[in-house]
Amino acid sequence: MSVVPVVPPPPGEAARPRPTVAVVGAGAAGALVALHLCESAVRRRIPLDLVLVDPAPEAGRGTAYATEDPELRLNVPVGGMSCYPDDPDHFRRWLCLHGESTVTARDFASRYRYGSYLAGTLGRAVIAAHGTVSVRRLRTRATGCADAADGRLEIGLADGTTVTAHSVVLATGPAAGGGDWAPAELVASDRFVPHPWTPGVLDALGTSGDVLLVGTGLTAVDLALVLDRPGRTVYAVSRGGLLPQSHTVAPSPSVPPPPGLAALPLPLLRREVARHVAATRRTHGDWRPALDGLRPEIGRLWQGLTDDERAEFLGRDASLWNVHRHRMAPAAAEIVARARAADRLRVHAGRIASAAPREDGGLVVSLADGRELRVAWVVDCTGPGLAADAGGDPLWSGLLTDGLAAAGPLGIGVSTVRGRLLDGQGGRERPLFTLGAPRRGELWETTAIPEIRVQALEIAQSVLAGLTGAHGGHGDTDRPTGSGSGLPPVPSRAPSSLISDAFSISQ
């Protein structure tokens, strides 16, 4: 197992004043921020203490990349998953060096391998930054964040300790779903699985007994793959009853949309996007390049809408957009098709109305249209909540209550400017940043690696720029994009402290 190396400063370095940056969350977003902080700090020659706060046993994996099931693959091809925005081939080269010499940029790697890539790339960056960046890994959960002296911030931890930092990056990932759709009798049942990716929770489902998945997005697809067994029926129910579309085995290049879309009101924007998709289908025989071309523009288009238009999009367009935008890997789509053809996977449009226990320990779940499904288990696959504190996270709840953060448009995520949190009065004086899912209200499309890696690099550069004036770095010599070539070389002869501590985890 690879872990984030803990590299202490060399002898004599500890006495030198060094700014502290805390990254809360060490999943993919946190690992990418830490990676770019290490590499940019070396290039700018800014001494730094970096603290990673996360209870997970290994950095880089988070929930998404912790599974060891080889059937669970990335939903983005290898060529779109590099840590570096300006070096799209970096992940493919890593795979080639780690036993997959025939992999291409169009292939879909396993999620576990991608977690190994993130952890290994971060680990090497930490080692290469020795002498400039000192890293601590605190395996606990952040429970609060408050103002401290001299413009710093204090993070409260679940173990009762605190961390005071000059800058804080909240890389907490998507908020847990609130489960508001679930009837009380279902929530109370021991046959209800509200958080399917909790380690070991699916073991109880065994290899028999029918299962109901509530939701038909990518989470439901993953669970359908994991739970598919001869003799078992997996039901999937959502209001639209639509499964994600599939990527193609040989994708065509993306087709940019026509100019001027960001200035259009939603009805005209909807019409022009439909024309763009139709034209792309005529010329390329496929609609996917049109949506791929729209992807870099989504943030600007979303920000050009009024709140009323955003609400209309969520109610009318979001489901259809998600089905076509967030696609299955071709291999996953083939397995799903086989399961549906064999009637082991049945997809329904509907809404859960009630649930009642059966004498054999299972459940009878009634849909709003009167249909009944008799199953052994019900699994919540509805995905994350939209509000930053949707799952009752004390960190985000406290920030919103105390006015250090403000809810984003329509209450989705939080308000930021280039990742810097706005407080309750609209100010952005605090060195408090976030990326990924908490910015969904601001950007809409912000939860996939191609977007998160760009945000991670921008935030790392903003954090270091803010520290340079106060702590006297050696100027802004960083490049405007990622490292391109990957990582600085690991020293051939590391100090003895590095040898002994490089792969330990600090408590």
DSSP 86-126: T-TTHHHHHHHHTT-TT--TTS--BHHHHHHHHHHHHHHHH
pLDDT of 6 reads: 53
Reported as a single tens digit per residue, the pLDDT across 40-95 is 999 999 999 999 999 998 899 988 898 888 889 999 999 999 999 999 999 999 99
CA 154 – CA 432 distance, rounded (Å): 11
Contact 21, 467 (CB under 8 A): yes
CA 432 – CA 152 distance, rounded (Å): 10
pLDDT of 14 reads: 46
Please compute, for residue 30, the number of CA atoms within 13 A of its CA located in the half-sphere on the CB side.
30
Q: Per CATH, is 20-63+125-176+386-501 categorized as 1.20.120.1200?
A: no
Contact 135, 37 (CB under 8 A): no
Confidence band for 8, pLDDT divided at 50, 70 and 90 = low
pLDDT over 60 (residue 104): yes
pLDDT over 90 (residue 325): yes
Reduce the secondary structure of 127-143 to three states and give it as a string. Answer: HHCCCCEEEEEECCCEE
CA 118 – CA 121 distance, rounded (Å): 5
Reported as a single tens digit per residue, the pLDDT across 175-199 is 888 778 999 999 999 999 999 988 8
pLDDT of 385 reads: 87
CA 474 – CA 28 distance, rounded (Å): 29
Tokens encoding 42? 């070396």
Confidence band for 404, pLDDT divided at 50, 70 and 90 = very high
pLDDT of 199 reads: 83
Contact 358, 210 (CB under 8 A): no
Pairing status of strand 352-357 against strand 363-367: antiparallel
Tokens encoding 314? 């969520």
Tokens encoding 336? 């799903």
Q: Per CATH, is 184-245+327-380 categorized as 3.50.50.60?
A: yes
pLDDT of 17 reads: 72
Domain boundaries in the chain? 20-63+125-176+386-501, 184-245+327-380, 261-325
Per the document, the length of the chain is 507
Average pLDDT for 334-345? 97
The percent of residues above 90 in pLDDT, for the chain, comes to: 77
> For the chain, percent helix, then strand, then coil, each to nearest 5?
35, 15, 45
Q: H helices within 129-265, ranges in order?
A: 184-187, 218-227
Burial grade of 127 (CB within 10 A; 0-12, 13-18, 19 or more)? buried
Contact 48, 471 (CB under 8 A): no
Phi, psi of 433 (to 5 degrees): -125, 160
Name residue 501's beta-bridge partners. Answer: none
In the numeric block, the tokens 């994708």 are attached to 251
Closest CA to 261 of 302, 229, 292: 302
Query: Do the first three CATH levels of 20-63+125-176+386-501 and 184-245+327-380 match, i.e. the same topology?
Result: yes
